[in-house]
Chain A
Amino acid sequence: MSESREKVLTRVRRALGRGSLDERTCSQLAARISSPPTLTRIDFTEDAVERFVIKARGEAATVARIADDQEIPDAVAQYLKSHNLAAKFVAAPALRSIDWPQHLDIDFGTTRGEHESGVTPCLAAVAETGSVVLLSGVQTPTSLNLLPDNHIVIVRHSQVLRNFEDVWRQLRERDAALPRAVNFVTGPSRTGDIEQTIQLGAHGPRRVHIILVDDTEA
């Protein structure tokens, strides 16, 4: 243990006018971590999916709604075509299982920015703010969320959660440890750094397109 570590911790304790914490306080604080307090959420009455769509569009994302998984390839192809983009993209390996048609030229894996468009799944979406939640991992490399100019995200109705707190619950159930990166993305990259004029496409994607699949049982 380094000298600075002891120095800093000693200073903290001296500033707080006490020595090391007693065992009882430590276990109380540990309990506060293992079962976090219930704090104020942003409350809303509308349907989570509808709110997610409105909020995402409000932050300059586009949303296409489809009825089932089989329509995903068409929805992707249509989006690319409508923006005059090549039918070529990088997709997260997690999406290999989709039945992609021959005419789409797809690289499964990561990117160093050589791809104009990228398609990824998500862990969840947040209705509170219109954000999508993207995890890093072997099947879902983070670079796809950041480097292509066009980011297409597939979201299912069942993935739309109301608040951030619901995402934490899901992450904890999934694994005791967090993945390396949990990205919350709310619309395309933007900057206001020149005369506070909002300009889209600062460093990350210029466009974020959400393909929203209705997977609820009819």
Chain B
Amino acid sequence: MQFTSADFQRNVTKALNDPHLQQALKRGMHGFVDKRAEAAAAVPEFERLRDEAREIKDHTLKYLDYYLERFEESVIRSGGHVHWAADAIDARNIVLEICRKANARSITKGKSMAGEEIDLNEALEAQGFEVVETDLGEYIIQLAKEPPSHIIAPAVHKTREQVTELFHQHHRALGFEQRQTEVTALVDEARQVLRKKFLHADVGITGANFLIAETGSNVIVTNEGNGDLTSTIPRVHVVTAGLEKVVPTLEDMTVLMRVLARSATGQEASTYTTIFTGPRREGDEDGPEEYHVVLIDSGRTAILETDFKEILRCIRCGACLNHCPVWSSVGGHAYGWVYSGPMGAVLTPLLKGLEATRHLPNACTLNGRCEQNCPVRIPLPAMLRKLRHRQYEDNLTGATTRYGLNVWAYLAKRPALYRLVTNVAARTLFLLGKRRGRFSRLPLAGGWTRGRDLPAPQGATFHSQWRARNSS
């Protein structure tokens, strides 16, 4: 997929002026926050589960080599294959080779963020395979030729009307003459189209919510059941997963599963949670004949080495996106790559480099809601601040901002001077803005006043008001 994080500001302007997107966000996003809050409040164990989830992830990362080798051993014992991919090219080549060997023509896919990361669909299509995404949201954006805009709701940026047009355009040739406008009818039409794809696929490719070292299994949670159909019907099942998905045991997975469903959609459990272990067994009438897991590094070990390793705890629930005021205003595409919102603003710079992504860590108000709602307690705001700091050190911060920061730092280190300057500034602005009480234009503050007025100061600075209050 195209990588446009460098154009973040342009993407944002486009997003804010896109009436379809704004309508879709308004219609789609209000439910997530309330449902998560209700689900968290419904169980007194929730905060303890979050602590345990964090500990499990930290423990596994600390001994990642051990758990990966144990996982591999368990997969082999159950008759499956494990492939190690150092980077995206490796990963694509491994999957292509499996598909070629299987003489595959048609491939169904369950949603996989790792698959998105490595541009798997493009690679498969370029080699002539027919690739069909089966998660309804992923299917919609595949028809629209767009990347996902949300981890768990990839088509949340599309309105119903846009889906109507997409389906009409693509399904007419398949005998669906009528334009469907109701959600029920649209879902039913997609069900019929995709059912045929499921039944005729040679290879099914899915991601993994978790990999279990103890049993050599991959776990997939879905509400649609598309992951199960993709893993059950084709002759070959391929799992693409980042290294950090491994957990020690079924018990560890259970804790993570409990916080995942609640944080993502506010459910106690997703409709389908399935543990897949190896290929079909002797005498089985269904299930794949081959089971492959592709373990993808592609930048993860480089993160493990740094202060940012806590981002590897991420279980891709989407809660930080749902609770982010920036994401909620501009949607996911503005971020310019696979991941968006707070976790994307941390992960994308780490995986794709600080320079082309320098706007992302700054697209944050540091309100802290992402961390408050993160099931594995990733300190996202602190990480975003750290990335900003690193940008400054690497000279990636813009000249005006640098100049401003330097001036502020100079003053902040000299309290007497700071008080003098702020006093003068506050009084001057008070006198200038006395009549209207606000400014609609101000030198050096164009970025602020272009979209809204700046309220005029009330005369005294916070420091002097505080002192007056405490002495009275």
Residue positions of A touching B, CB distance < 8 A: 2, 4-5, 7-9, 11-16, 20-21, 25-26, 29, 32-33, 36-43, 55, 59, 109-110, 112-113, 128-131, 136-138, 141-143, 145-147, 164-165, 168, 171, 177-197, 199, 201-205
Q: Which residue of chain A lies nearest to B30 when distances are taken between CB atoms in the complex?
A: A196
B284 A141 Cβ-Cβ under 8 A: yes
What would 4 more interface pairs be, CB under 8 Å, given A2-B84, A20-B65?
A: A8-B84, A12-B304, A179-B281, A180-B278
A39 B255 Cβ-Cβ under 8 A: yes
Given that A12-B64, A33-B213, A181-B232 are contacting pairs, would A4 and B199 also be in contact in the complex, using a CB cutoff of 8 Å? no
For the residues of A in contact with B, the DSSP-based class is loop
Q: In this assembly, does B145 line the interface, its C-beta being within 8 Å of a C-beta of chain A?
A: no
**B277 neighbours in A (Cβ, 8 Å):** 177-182
Q: Which of B220-228, B400-408, B433-441 contacts A (4 or more CB under 8 A)?
A: B220-228
Q: Which residue of chain B lies nearest to A145 when distances are taken between CB atoms in the complex?
A: B228
**B270 neighbours in A (Cβ, 8 Å):** 186
Q: Which residue of chain B lies nearest to A7 when distances are taken between CB atoms in the complex?
A: B86
Q: In this assembly, does B134 line the interface, its C-beta being within 8 Å of a C-beta of chain A?
A: yes
Interface size class of B (residues with CB under 8 A): 35 or more
A181 B276 Cβ-Cβ under 8 A: yes
In the complex, what's the smallest C-beta–C-beta distance from B69 to chain A, in angstroms? 7
Tell me the bound Cα distance from A131 to B257 in angstroms: 14
Tell me the bound Cα distance from A147 to B49 in angstroms: 35
Q: In this assembly, does B269 line the interface, its C-beta being within 8 Å of a C-beta of chain A?
A: yes
**B249 neighbours in A (Cβ, 8 Å):** 32-33, 36
**B301 neighbours in A (Cβ, 8 Å):** 8, 11-12, 14-15
A177 B78 Cβ-Cβ under 8 A: yes
Tell me the bound Cα distance from A137 to B5 in angstroms: 48
A131 B84 Cβ-Cβ under 8 A: no
A181 B275 Cβ-Cβ under 8 A: yes
Q: Which residue of chain A lies nearest to B217 when distances are taken between CB atoms in the complex?
A: A178
Select which of A36, A138, A185 is within 8 A of B250 by beta carbon: A36
List 13 A-B pairs, Cβ < 8 Å. A32-B248, A43-B45, A129-B268, A129-B269, A177-B77, A180-B277, A181-B231, A181-B287, A195-B28, A203-B224, A203-B229, A204-B228, A204-B272
A141 B286 Cβ-Cβ under 8 A: yes
Q: Which residue of chain A lies nearest to B287 when distances are taken between CB atoms in the complex?
A: A180
Given that A36-B248, A110-B286, A204-B224 are contacting pairs, would A59 and B217 also be in contact in the complex, using a CB cutoff of 8 Å? no
Select which of B62, B65, B272 is within 8 A of A9 by beta carbon: B65
The 6 closest A-B pairs by CB, nearest first: A204-B225, A193-B137, A202-B224, A15-B304, A11-B301, A15-B305
Tell me the bound Cα distance from A59 to B261 in angstroms: 14
Given that A15-B301, A16-B64, A181-B275 are contacting pairs, would A40 and B286 also be in contact in the complex, using a CB cutoff of 8 Å? no
**A196 neighbours in B (Cβ, 8 Å):** 27-29, 31-32, 153, 156
B65 A202 Cβ-Cβ under 8 A: no
Select which of A5, A36, A192 is within 8 A of B251 by beta carbon: A36
Tell me the bound Cα distance from A141 to B286 in angstroms: 6
Tell me the bound Cα distance from A5 to B233 in angstroms: 30
**B229 neighbours in A (Cβ, 8 Å):** 146-147, 203-204
* Most chain B beta-carbon contacts within 10 A, residue among A12, A21, A26: A12
Q: In this assembly, does B214 line the interface, its C-beta being within 8 Å of a C-beta of chain A?
A: yes
B243 A12 Cβ-Cβ under 8 A: yes
Given that A4-B90, A182-B275 are contacting pairs, would A40 and B48 also be in contact in the complex, using a CB cutoff of 8 Å? yes
**A188 neighbours in B (Cβ, 8 Å):** 271
In the complex, what's the smallest C-beta–C-beta distance from B255 to chain A, in angstroms? 5
A110 B213 Cβ-Cβ under 8 A: no
In the complex, what's the smallest C-beta–C-beta distance from A140 to chain B, in angstroms? 10
B271 A59 Cβ-Cβ under 8 A: yes
Select which of A33, A38, A191, A201 is within 8 A of B70 by beta carbon: A33
* Most chain B beta-carbon contacts within 10 A, residue among A142, A186, A187: A142
**A110 neighbours in B (Cβ, 8 Å):** 285-286
Given that A4-B86, A138-B285 are contacting pairs, would A195 and B223 also be in contact in the complex, using a CB cutoff of 8 Å? no
A168 B250 Cβ-Cβ under 8 A: yes
A40 B255 Cβ-Cβ under 8 A: yes
Select which of A16, A39, A130, A185 is within 8 A of B272 by beta carbon: A185
B251 A168 Cβ-Cβ under 8 A: yes
